[in-house]
Amino acid sequence: MKKTVFRILCLAYIVFSPFGKTMAQQHAVPIVVITDLYHPYQDPGDNMDLIMGFGLPDVDLKAVLLDITDAFRKDTADHPTLWKDPRGPREAGIIPVEQLNYIFNKKIPYALGPLSMMKSEEDKMEYLPDYEQGAFSLLTKILTESEKPVEILSFGSARILAVAYNRNPDLLKKKISKIHLSAGTASKNYELGSDPGANAIPGGEWNVALDVYAFTRILKSDLPIAIYPCAGKDGGFIKDQNNTYWRLSDMEFIKQMDPQLQKYLDFAFNKKLQYDFLRAMDTEYPVNINIDRYPKPFHVWESAIWLKATQREIICTPDGEYILIKKENLREDNRIIKNELRRCNIYGVKDDGRFQFSYTDKPSNREIYYRPDLEENEKAFQKVIPKLYISISTRH
């Protein structure tokens, strides 16, 4: 009995000792996030999902690259093909990134990429001001220095990736493990659906339309890519077997999250503008949260990417409870809620960013997201994702 207790204490010391890293940290996945994150927000999901990068213990977040489009920095957006968003002005999401660094006591580097669209698929954009070159310099540094291949999570246009590939394709092929690309429309035979707004824009989807040359350049490249279409045939706000869209109808779980994360989200969702945006994270708790003022319903496209990049699966217990579990801990008798990447071939990429795909059992460096049961998938996400956010702590 004494020997058993001693072994348990030794194991606890190894796992939790300040002189060593936890098992999760030792096996942390190196990740670079590319995001069209703004403040005040344009898509509040960008502010929300970035918490995963800073807070999950098995993520080694190397950098946040801000993929900003100048048209949406203005009072009323003047993008040539996308919504003339009248809710500006807004700026690159420097404030939310700094707030997350502050409350997690980290120094995750960030930089901006080009504010304008590529002029061709081969454009290296070397004519840009130095400030807009920052994302390329940072990405090159991280890939060069990383001992392990890096997972790239792309939420926004593919502009930073496409230009980086045009400049240094060998580095990207050598050091990128996989590009998790949140973009595109999964539509067989280029079929148009019920959303006239989606039908009218390049690629039928927002992230593609942000920079069509960037998207087609990446699809035609030889880089390893997992495509997570934001839209299906009927647009980005309708669930499809190959798109990642789901809705969070109830945001009450935020009241159970870490107090500082509550403050971070309250600052973002209320579009607060104040000089002391870091000190705002130190205000007295509890925060006077009014969930009714938050975006509702909350539209989500990002969750599946974080689960796949960090090797997490959703299982359903015999009692009907949905649980998030690391893939390595799965048992044969677990009922997995299928939320998977299928090997595929990508072909017929059109100039407007629409593409065709077919599943394959043969080796391929192309994958596409797939979920067979749309309703159970959404139901499961509505249970496990709030619990995952609640589990994240800023305390060290």
**DSSP string spanning 171-191?**
HHHHHEEEEEEE--EE-GGG-
Beta bridge partners of 31: 61, 151
Domain covering 19-312+340-391 in this structure, CATH number:
3.90.245.10
The tokens of 139 are what?
Answer: 């990405």
80 confidence band (pLDDT: 50, 70, 90):
very high
At residue 148, what are phi and psi to the nearest 5 degrees?
-110, 150
Q: Peptide bond before 297: cis, by omega within 30 degrees of 0?
A: yes
CB-count burial class (<10 Å; 0-12, 13-18, 19+) for 101: middle
Read off the pLDDT of residues 334-390 as tens digits, 9 standing for 90 and up.
Answer: 999 999 999 999 999 999 999 999 999 999 999 999 999 999 999 999 999 999 999
Domain ranges of the chain: 19-312+340-391
- What totals of helices (H) and strands (E) does the chain contain, helices first? 13, 18
CA distances from 218 to 94, 152, 349 (A): 26, 13, 11
- Using the predicted structure, report yes or no on whether residue 63 has a pLDDT greater than 50: yes
Least confident of 27-41, 227-241, 282-296: 282-296
Of 338, 346, 340, 339, the residue nearest 364 (C-alpha)? 346
Please say whether the beta carbons of 42 and 85 come within 8 A.
yes
DSSP 270: T
Span 152-178, mean pLDDT? 98
Q: Kindly report, residue by residue over 297-332, the tens digit of the pLDDT.
A: 999 999 999 999 999 999 999 999 999 999 999 999
Alpha-helix residue ranges (DSSP H) falling in the chain: 2-16, 23-26, 44-55, 94-104, 134-145, 159-167, 169-175, 196-199, 206-210, 212-220, 259-269, 303-309, 374-391
Query: Is residue 171 a contact partner of residue 202, using CB atoms and an 8 Å limit?
Result: no
Buried b or exposed e, range 338-371, using 16+ CB within 10 angstroms: ebebbebebeebeebbbbbbeeeeeeeebbbbeb
